[in-house]
Structure 1
Amino acid sequence: MRIVFMGTPDFAVPSLEALVQAGHEVCGVFSQPDKPVGRHQNKLQPTPVKACAQSHGIPVFQPTKLRDGTALAQLKELNPELIVVAAYGRILPDDILALPPKGCINVHSSLLPKYRGSAPIHWAVINGEQETGVTIMHMASELDAGDIIAQLATPIDPNETVETVHDRLAQMGGELLVKTVAQIADGTASRMPQDPAKVTLAPMLSRSLSPIDWEQPARSIHNKIRGLVPWPATSTDIFSKEPVKVFASVETGETTTKAPGTVVRTGSDGIDVACGDGQVLRLLELQAPGSRRMAAGDYLRGHPIDASKN
């Protein structure tokens, strides 16, 4: 099938690769503009999807806008039967949605209608979900609201971070996409409307989410820590004047009567902190301001904490 692919970050690369390996004619790739990198921001780094497309000799288009007519003209010239979108980062206007005869489909990293929005993997982990997955859906004017074509689920381990879930879903998305495109090609693809009563949202992440509220239960704090890795990352100021970032933790199963936010024990294996439900959470990986990520034991060597005073 003649396909235009639209995507930007690492998550979208397995989907593009899967289409190419399946023998589809990917006639063009749309990706967001290259971003400046380096100390002086004087070098442009191609998006992961652009780099992948170029490795296969596929033409790449990087419009700054989709509503000025230029992108539509480029798409008409490419004349795709189907447009596939995976984490493109832009909303497609109606005239583009209506262009390909087979429609526009999207690879979304949640089991819709749960977690519509820009950060579905993060919020699934933050909320302690035991399962997530990928959805292939027809695109509609409303964000992530189109009919579902196919879904594939996967469990989330209680100690798994958003990074490992992300990588697994990216691969699953590519596998499911190829099967779905084959069904679209032969006319056997199904359509299931989303249930509006089951819609939940996954809004964009921001640094305002970072501070840890130690009044919360240990499980909730643990989920937040593993759900905000690597950005914006959780942070705490309970043992430093400036917030220290926390990248990993584990539930100890131990209890304490000390006040939430109190350091109850330190050791080479971590820093134990009292939480709002009386449970103890062990912090495993930290980053002091101006420093690098390091194991808690290494952090303690440079920033000693005397838990006996608490």
Structure 2
Amino acid sequence: MKVVFMGTPDFAVETLKAIYEAGHEVILVVSQPDKPKGRSGKLQPTPVKEFAVEHDIPVYQPVKIRAGESVEYLKQYEADVFVVAAFGQILPKVILDMPRLGCVNVHGSLLPKYRGAAPIQWAVINGEKISGNTTMLMGPGLDDGDMLLKSEVELAADETGGSLFDKLALDGGKLAVKTIEALERGEITPVPQDESQATHVGMIKKEMGNIDWSKPAEEIERLIRGLNPWPSAFTFLNGKQVKIWKATVVDKTGAPGTIISVDKNVFTVACGKQALEINELQLEGKKRMNAGDFLRGNALEAGATFSSNRE
């Protein structure tokens, strides 16, 4: 099958890789423009572009996929199907109508639940037990196309946004190949989404990681895992930011944000309900470390308080 692939971040690479390794002809990769990185401002290619260049696949990086010149450029590629995974731009109808089998999107949730930009992190933050991928025929809206196939992935008790991202990326690649091959054989009947069951999630922003200690410990612990590795959950102690990387819910009480006990290898912070035993953290300007190492280098006493700002 002739495939045009559209994607940008690491998540999309696994889908592109799976299609390529399944023997399909990827005739073009479309990705977001390169962005400057670091102090040097040197342009950094997207992960999808890097894979394409390594495998001699032509790359197109439009600033606006809707622009007339972008549409005209894509018309010259007579693909059987367009496969889209975390591309980052909404496709206009004129592009959706180009390929013979349509445009297939790989979305990291069990639609119609968790439409939007960050379904993977929100699944962890909200305490879901099961997540997964859905392939769909793309429509003009956001993640509202007719569903093709689904696959479920179970979340581990210590699942993080990063670990679930990796699981779903691999699973999504397999599902994409299965989907386009079944479409080619005429074995899939698209199923409309139930709009009454649709939920939408927004983008993850850094400020979301600022811990509100008045919330229940279970909720904060899920936030910590969901925002690991980016943007991370954080709090402030003595005017310095402290990132919390790993914590355990314990049945203790106290004033929210207050350190209620300090042991040799852990310390415990009270929450609105129960408390969190801090297992791994990172003081501003320092490397990530376990709580025992932190305590050996920093004097910390019961009664100290974490806050939501530097004051």
| Distance (whole Å) between structure 1 residues aligned to residue 201 and residue 304 of structure 2 | 41
Gaps of 5+ in 1: none
1:255 paired with 2:252, answer yes
| Distance (whole Å) between structure 1 residues aligned to residue 62 and residue 295 of structure 2 | 48
The answer for the alignment partner of 1:65 in structure 2 is 64
| Distance (whole Å) between structure 1 residues aligned to residue 298 and residue 92 of structure 2 | 53
The answer for the alignment partner of 1:305 in structure 2 is 300
CA deviations on 1:51-106 (whole Å, 9 max, x unpaired) are: 11112111011111112212212211111111000011111112111111211010
CA deviations on 1:191-210 (whole Å, 9 max, x unpaired) are: 11111111111200112212
The answer for the alignment partner of 2:165 in structure 1 is 166
CA contact (8 A) 1:159 1:250 kept: no
Q: Return the offset for 1:242.
A: 2.9
The answer for the alignment partner of 1:229 in structure 2 is 228
Gaps of 5+ in 2: 306-311
- Letter aligned with residue 255 of structure 2: A
The answer for the alignment partner of 1:26 in structure 2 is 26
The answer for the alignment partner of 1:285 in structure 2 is 280
1:55 paired with 2:54, answer yes
1:40 paired with 2:36, answer no
The answer for the alignment partner of 1:17 in structure 2 is 17
Q: Return the offset for 1:289.
A: 2.1
| Distance (whole Å) between structure 2 residues aligned to residue 103 and residue 275 of structure 1 | 50
- Letter aligned with residue 201 of structure 2: A
Number of residue-to-residue matches in the alignment: 305
The answer for the alignment partner of 1:240 in structure 2 is 238
Q: Return the offset for 1:268.
A: 4.3
The answer for the alignment partner of 1:135 in structure 2 is 134
- Letter aligned with residue 71 of structure 1: S
The answer for the alignment partner of 2:272 in structure 1 is 276
| Distance (whole Å) between structure 2 residues aligned to residue 203 and residue 212 of structure 1 | 18
CA deviations on 1:107-165 (whole Å, 9 max, x unpaired) are: 00000011000100011100011110000011011100001100001111222111111
CA contact (8 A) 1:272 1:280 kept: yes
- 129-138 vs 262-271, greater mean Cα deviation: 262-271
Per the alignment, in what secondary structure is the counterpart of residue 299 of structure 2? coil
| Distance (whole Å) between structure 1 residues aligned to residue 183 and residue 171 of structure 2 | 18
| Distance (whole Å) between structure 2 residues aligned to residue 26 and residue 207 of structure 1 | 36
| Distance (whole Å) between structure 1 residues aligned to residue 102 and residue 38 of structure 2 | 39
CA contact (8 A) 1:35 1:44 kept: yes
Gap change, CA 1:268 and 1:8, over 3 Å in 2: farther
CA contact (8 A) 2:133 2:150 kept: yes
Per the alignment, in what secondary structure is the counterpart of residue 240 of structure 2? coil
The answer for the alignment partner of 2:4 in structure 1 is 4
Per the alignment, in what secondary structure is the counterpart of residue 76 of structure 2? helix
CA contact (8 A) 2:265 2:295 kept: no
| Distance (whole Å) between structure 1 residues aligned to residue 277 and residue 173 of structure 2 | 36
Per the alignment, in what secondary structure is the counterpart of residue 78 of structure 1? coil
Q: Matched residues, percent identical?
A: 48
Written as runs of structure 1 = structure 2, the 5 A alignment for 1:82-121 is 82-121=81-120
| Distance (whole Å) between structure 2 residues aligned to residue 50 and residue 196 of structure 1 | 35
| Distance (whole Å) between structure 2 residues aligned to residue 11 and residue 142 of structure 1 | 21
Per the alignment, in what secondary structure is the counterpart of residue 214 of structure 2? coil
Q: Return the offset for 1:297.
A: 2.3
| Distance (whole Å) between structure 2 residues aligned to residue 187 and residue 308 of structure 1 | 66
The normalised TM-score by structure 2 is: 0.94
CA contact (8 A) 2:265 2:293 kept: no
CA deviations on 1:239-260 (whole Å, 9 max, x unpaired) are: 33233221221223x323x212
| Distance (whole Å) between structure 2 residues aligned to residue 163 and residue 53 of structure 1 | 24
| Distance (whole Å) between structure 2 residues aligned to residue 15 and residue 66 of structure 1 | 20
The answer for the alignment partner of 2:308 in structure 1 is none
Per the alignment, in what secondary structure is the counterpart of residue 294 of structure 2? helix
